[in-house]
Chains A and B, each alone.
Chain A
């Protein structure tokens, strides 16, 4: 099915960051990469109080209006959890970047090799437990649900692709530290 404004809106309005290296949202990304489509959706979203952002190979929606307390709380916590998750990834795989293929098994191997107090502390912050057995699946799930990782293919359960959206968070790091 060809992607139109409605489909693009449907995806973005779910809070999805659409990366152009994502296989899952490739059609939406291709649609938004056309300037006319992007501009048209930008104007429409602006009318209903949202801002369409397209930068460095990914698209997402921002809210123009101020957030209420619960939204703000969720917004801050979610960003913190993802920033810590990316720090865990970077600590284990210093070269990890957009486009990297990450294996869950390599993650466990590397964690067991480098395991230190800092890593355990980070896991505990996000998942309230340090037990590797409990956190690995949750960790990949969290990053998948936040559009940082995407399963590479249905045939391999082990491979994940690092999406362009990782740069959204590294940009925040650059601005704060």
Chain B
């Protein structure tokens, strides 16, 4: 098969391949894709070929924690062997072999550098794993990067000294990649330091989380002496809070003695004042019938049980229980009801969000 034919095959089957890429395996695959070795049969199902996945993940910057960096021993041994043969025979054939090997090693260094950068970024932004698991992954990655130090330096040294002066063409190539190679080698130290820093921060986060949970459990168990003591002793530097009933304003209450002083003064002044009792004119208001605007959630749930909407929020927006609301109010009221409905155990959440940026939830 020609390269252009392979590209066409992938293009023609792009939706199928994308589906398998997302769901990891499939039961049936068109014969032409099996023949192309893009798919490999394992047990009774087909998976995408690991070589294809490696390429795609690398281009799309999706690096799995299980990546194995490996060393450069095979290429190194080949280079040493070809150098010896060239020096012994003077045959130019070995020069091309060596140039290919140097280029392959350079690409390996380039990819490795990129993979480590992506892996660090992924670790730093991963919130899907439990903290303990994340720390495990970070320590494993650190170990893998650590192992690269020696392998990198060995190749760097060989490029700087072992291969220099063998042939002008190789020297030119080595010269042109020398700065990048040096960067790749030096970057390893930066990555190790970043990763160490990340591990320390994550461990601190784990300790803090445990402390927060512990303190909250102490509050629930009414073991609050230490907390009360800390808050009471340090109130001068702590956020001063008042209950909402006091209109959320900062104020100082008068002392009892001040109040009695004011009371005495007021009695003194007001005792001379004659106050006419106001004549009470009560107006009897006609009782009005108020219509309560309450959305009937039970009714909506009953309807959902039968109709099984694909997106509950959109369903609510168009429901007649909300017809009295204007657009702005409608979204806000529908969202409130949506939040209540999705607490039901029969709700299934999708991974997507609708046009209102609200998670798609449907009735099971």
Contacts and interface: CB of A to CB of B under 8 A. Distances in A.
A86 interface: yes
A50 B357 contact: no
A41 interface: no
A127 interface: no
B358 A51 contact: no
Contacts of B336: 137
A65 B335 CA distance: 44
Nearest to A78: B241
Interface stretch (B66-74, B89-97, B246-254, B279-287): B246-254
Nearest to A134: B340
B345 interface: yes
A170 B241 contact: no
B359 A177 contact: no
Contact of B216 (A50, A74, A84, A133): A84
A57 B112 CA distance: 38
B250 A93 contact: no
Nearest to B213: A87
B55 interface: no
A86 to B, nearest CB: 6
B192 interface: no
Given A60-B239, A108-B339, A176 B215 contact: yes
Interface in B210-225: 211-220, 224
Interface string A86-110: 1110110111010000011110110
Contact of B228 (A14, A76, A106, A109): A76
Interface residues of B, dominant DSSP:
helix
Nearest to A91: B213
Given A13-B250, A71-B242, A174-B211, A158 B232 contact: no
A13 B249 CA distance: 6
A65 B339 CA distance: 43
Interface of B: 127, 130-131, 205-206, 208-209, 211-220, 224, 226-228, 230-232, 234-244, 248-250, 252-253, 331-332, 335-336, 339-340, 342-343, 345, 349, 356-359, 361
A15 B212 CA distance: 24
A37 interface: no
A176 B359 CA distance: 38
A159 interface: yes
A132 interface: yes
B208 A174 contact: yes
A25 to B, nearest CB: 15
B237 A170 contact: no
A62 B242 contact: no
Contact of B241 (A74, A84, A118, A125): A74
A75 B242 CA distance: 7
Contact of A68 (B227, B241, B253, B343): B253
A80 B217 CA distance: 11
9 contacts: A50-B250, A51-B236, A63-B236, A71-B242, A112-B343, A122-B216, A137-B336, A175-B234, A176-B226
